[in-house]
């Protein structure tokens, strides 16, 4: 059995003071939710406050991005080693907003996953097609390309530690969610890819999350799909009661 994983992506929301308050509320509300793994990913600057507030709780902390290099002349950037030292244990990589707004391509995303692994951070690799790609019948081709670009550089033991988040771009922040059947279909494709390239245990144990307008009202049906092992949640993760309702959907 794969344990469900719920990840809250706070995006560029909540300064350190606000993040401390949100983390405190989540800590209280989610203290009984020990049936699943829970991670929150605040903005870089708010990570120390959240790490401190969530110490010895059942909620872990992640980052939303990192630089591919460990250190050097990269003004304004943050390395995996810095995030790890600040108390993060996970890192989202290749979110569609990074790909679309900041020009991250498969090659850079792969280098960033490698940087996570070197730093001891658990990567959450985001993949997903645009609406135009879906309409053109390219879902499998796009998602396979994005997954293979990263996994071709990994051995089986490491591959099994990388979480994949399928996030159709047309469903992120739009209120439009993939149907449980649409999500399941792509998740099965991704698991099939892992089975094709690695020994069976990788596909059996790897967690594949769904992301894109997940809410309390649709979480249970999405999380009930055979190959949906959790959710990456944006907007709703900023509202403690809404995030709780999603987490409860994994029970
Ligand atoms: C996300 O940012 O990864 C996301 C899924 O956002 P939302 O839940 O707001 O669609």
Average pLDDT over residues 245-251: 98
60: which DSSP letter? Answer: E
Domain ranges of the chain: 5-248
Question: Catalytic: which of 97, 104, 167, 248?
Answer: 167
Distance (Å, rounded) from C-alpha 65 to C-alpha 162?
Answer: 15
Q: Is 248 a catalytic residue?
A: no
Q: Whose CA is nearest to atom 3 of ligand 1?
A: 234
Best probe residue, ligand 1, of 7, 97, 101, 172 (max atoms within 8 Å of C-beta): 172
Structural fold of domain 5-248: TIM Barrel (3.20.20)
Q: What is the pLDDT of residue 37?
A: 98
Q: Is 95 a catalytic residue?
A: yes
- For 131, the token pair is 């609406």
**pLDDT (tens digit per residue) in 174-202:** 999 999 999 999 999 999 999 999 999 99
Cα distances (Å, whole numbers) of residue 15 to 61, 67, 69, 216, 234? 15, 21, 26, 25, 16
Largest distance between two CA atoms of the chain:
48
Is the pLDDT confidence value at 1 over 90?
A: no
The beta-strand segments (E) located in 175-216 are 208-211
Could you tell me the pTM of the whole model? Answer: 0.98
Instruction: Tell me the CA–centroid distance for residue 10 and ligand 1, in Å.
Output: 9
- In the chain, the percentage of residues whose pLDDT exceeds 90 is 99
Ligand 1 pocket, Cβ-based, cut-off 6 angstroms: 9, 167, 172-173, 211-214, 232-236
Best probe residue, ligand 1, of 213, 219, 249 (max atoms within 8 Å of C-beta): 213
Nearest in space to 126 (alpha carbons), one of 36, 231, 50, 202: 231
């Amino acid at each position: 059995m794969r344990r469900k994983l719920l990840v809250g992506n706070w995006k560029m929301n909540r300064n350190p003071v606000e993040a401390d308050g949100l983390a405190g509320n989540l800590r209280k509300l989610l203290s009984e939710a020990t049936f699943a793994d829970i991670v929150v990913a605040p903005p870089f600057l708010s990570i120390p406050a959240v790490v401190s507030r969530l110490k010895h709780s059942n909620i872990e902390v992640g980052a939303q991005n990192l630089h591919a290099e460990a250190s050097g002349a990269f003004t304004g950037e943050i390395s995996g080693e810095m995030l790890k030292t600040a108390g993060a244990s996970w890192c989202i990589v290749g979110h569609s907003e990074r790909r679309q707004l900041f020009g991250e391509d498969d090659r850079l995303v792969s280098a960033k996953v490698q940087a996570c692994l070197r730093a001891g951070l658990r990567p959450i690799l985001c993949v997903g097609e645009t609406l135009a790609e879906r309409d053109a019948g390219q879902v499998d081709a796009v998602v396979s390309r994005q997954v293979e670009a990263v996994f071709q550089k990994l051995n089986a033991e490491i591959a099994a530690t990388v979480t994949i988040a399928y996030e159709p771009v047309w469903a992120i922040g739009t209120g439009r969610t993939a149907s449980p059947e649409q999500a399941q279909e792509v998740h099965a494709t991704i698991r099939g890819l892992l089975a094709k390239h690695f020994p069976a245990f990788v596909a059996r144990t790897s967690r594949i999350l769904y992301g894109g307008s997940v809410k309390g009202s649709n979480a249970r049906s999405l999380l009930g799909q055979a190959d949906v092992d959790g959710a990456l949640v944006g907007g709703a993760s900023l509202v403690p009661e809404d995030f709780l309702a999603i987490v409860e959907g994994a029970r």
